[in-house]
């Protein structure tokens, strides 16, 4: 019998076989979600490549998972947990938020799988925050009240965007005209980079040239467009302020970790940015935040790693 873990985002689905005893991952595959009409079609195709029957499945997925009916936030997939379990003939099926999975990976990262960006040393088993700009903006916290890591689920990416400069406030006003409520995800996501760039173009009275996140990032890193470069700088500033808010919310003395597919694409730029300045810029609590470390996760598949941790904990292996 096999155990499989999956990481389902708004763009890609990653899958692997999990060794229940050791947690080792094998048979890693990645597909574009757009290749499949439904999630079960992707799972069936992957299962067909394996030698053995899959009986345990843990899926980290980018949407709320509280109800039987699952509807993805940034993708058209929708399905019933119970129906999926029956169709795949599983003994156990666990659906967890994708950032529940990513957060549970954090305690098991080694020093080569993360980059420290400022602050002091983490307090062992202290409350830890994890967030990540990608297709959307995922957020989670983890605690260890006894011998088990527990992820505190939420939809923190949809809190209201809080500007920290006049320029950011001007951008907020423009985005309010477009969206009404402006969440942090409207900035800290792939499309958020485009939102920033288009807003700056409007403020400067210029016609936008770029319409895809990779175009904005590429122009910024190549120093080909001042507004693209400013957009990436503001992205890092807003990310710092958001991370600092997370650290204050639950006293995250275990550190704040950045995941997601965007920031690892410009590591050097990020490290040289004002991220840490805005992380600590919280008035009377600046010295408090200065001691809290921040990290960039560079593990290739933290969602799969975390899903394997969850599965093994639920099956009482660890």
For 52-205, strand residue ranges (E) read: 54-61, 69-71, 78-80, 92-97, 114-116, 128-133, 137-143, 150-152
pLDDT attached to residue 99: 86
Statement: residue 146 has pLDDT above 90: no
pLDDT attached to residue 247: 97
CB 55 within 8 A of CB 90: yes
Statement: residue 268 has pLDDT above 90: yes
pLDDT attached to residue 14: 96
CATH class of the region 104-159+238-297 = alpha beta
Residues constituting the chain: 318
C-alpha span between 12 and 61 (Å, rounded): 11
C-alpha span between 270 and 264 (Å, rounded): 9
pLDDT in tens, 204-227: 999 999 999 999 999 999 999 999
pLDDT attached to residue 160: 97
Question: Quick one: CA dihedral 101, 102, 103, 109, positive or negative?
Answer: positive
Rg over alpha carbons for the chain, rounded to the nearest Å, is: 20
b/e sequence 226-237, b meaning 16+ C-beta within 10 Å: ebbbbbbbbbbb
pLDDT attached to residue 210: 97
All residues at 6 or more sequence positions from 310 whose CB lies less than 8 Å from its CB, including other chains: 58, 60, 94, 96, 100, 101, 104, 151
pLDDT attached to residue 311: 96
Statement: residue 304 has pLDDT above 90: yes
pLDDT attached to residue 316: 84
All residues at 6 or more sequence positions from 238 whose CB lies less than 8 Å from its CB, including other chains: 161, 164, 168, 184, 187, 188, 278
pLDDT attached to residue 6: 98
Q: Which residue has the higher pLDDT, 189 or 261?
A: 189
CB 174 within 8 A of CB 195: no
pLDDT attached to residue 31: 95
Statement: residue 73 has pLDDT above 90: no
Statement: residue 154 has pLDDT above 90: no
Angle at Cα 309 formed by Cα 307 and Cα 313, nearest 5°? 120
Domain positions in the chain are 2-97+301-314, 104-159+238-297, 166-236
CB 60 within 8 A of CB 16: no
260: exposed, middle or buried (Cβ count in 10 Å: 0-12, 13-18, 19+): buried
Q: What is the DSSP string of 273-288?
A: SSHHHHHH--GGGHHH
Cα dihedral angle (79, 80, 86, 91), rounded to 10 degrees? 110
CATH class of the region 2-97+301-314 = alpha beta
pLDDT attached to residue 222: 97
C-alpha span between 5 and 12 (Å, rounded): 14
pLDDT in tens, 276-303: 999 999 999 999 999 999 999 999 999 9
Statement: residue 317 has pLDDT above 80: no
């Amino acid at each position: 019998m096999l155990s499989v873990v999956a990481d389902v985002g708004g763009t890609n689905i990653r899958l692997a076989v999990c060794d229940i005893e050791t947690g080792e991952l094998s048979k890693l595959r990645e597909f574009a979600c757009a290749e499949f009409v439904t999630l079960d079609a992707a799972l069936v195709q992957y299962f067909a490549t394996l030698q053995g029957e899959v009986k345990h499945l843990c899926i980290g997925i980018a949407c709320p998972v509280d109800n039987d009916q699952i509807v993805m936030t940034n993708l058209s997939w929708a399905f019933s947990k119970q129906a999926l379990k029956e169709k795949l003939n599983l003994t156990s099926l666990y659906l967890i938020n994708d950032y529940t999975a990513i957060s549970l990976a954090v305690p098991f990262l080694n020093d080569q799988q993360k980059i420290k960006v400022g602050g002091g040393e983490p307090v062992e088993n202290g409350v830890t925050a994890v967030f990540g700009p990608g297709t959307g903006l995922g957020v989670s916290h983890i605690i260890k009240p006894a011998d088990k890591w527990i992820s505190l689920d939420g939809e923190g990416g949809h809190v209201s965007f809080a500007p920290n400069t006049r320029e950011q406030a001007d951008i907020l006003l423009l985005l309010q005209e477009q969206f009404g409520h402006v969440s942090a995800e409207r900035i800290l996501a792939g499309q958020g980079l485009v939102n920033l760039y288009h807003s700056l173009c409007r403020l400067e009275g210029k016609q936008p040239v770029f319409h895809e996140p990779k175009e904005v990032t590429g122009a910024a890193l190549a120093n080909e467009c001042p507004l693209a470069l400013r957009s990436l700088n503001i992205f890092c500033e807003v990310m710092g302020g958001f991370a600092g808010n997370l650290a204050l919310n639950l006293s995250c003395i275990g550190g704040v970790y950045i995941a997601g597919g965007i920031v690892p694409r410009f590591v050097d730029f990020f490290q040289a940015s004002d991220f840490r300045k805005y992380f600590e810029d919280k008035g009377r609590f600046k010295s408090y935040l200065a001691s809290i470390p921040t990290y960039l996760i560079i593990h290739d598949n933290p969602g799969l790693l975390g899903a394997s941790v969850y599965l093994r904990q639920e099956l009482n292996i660890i």
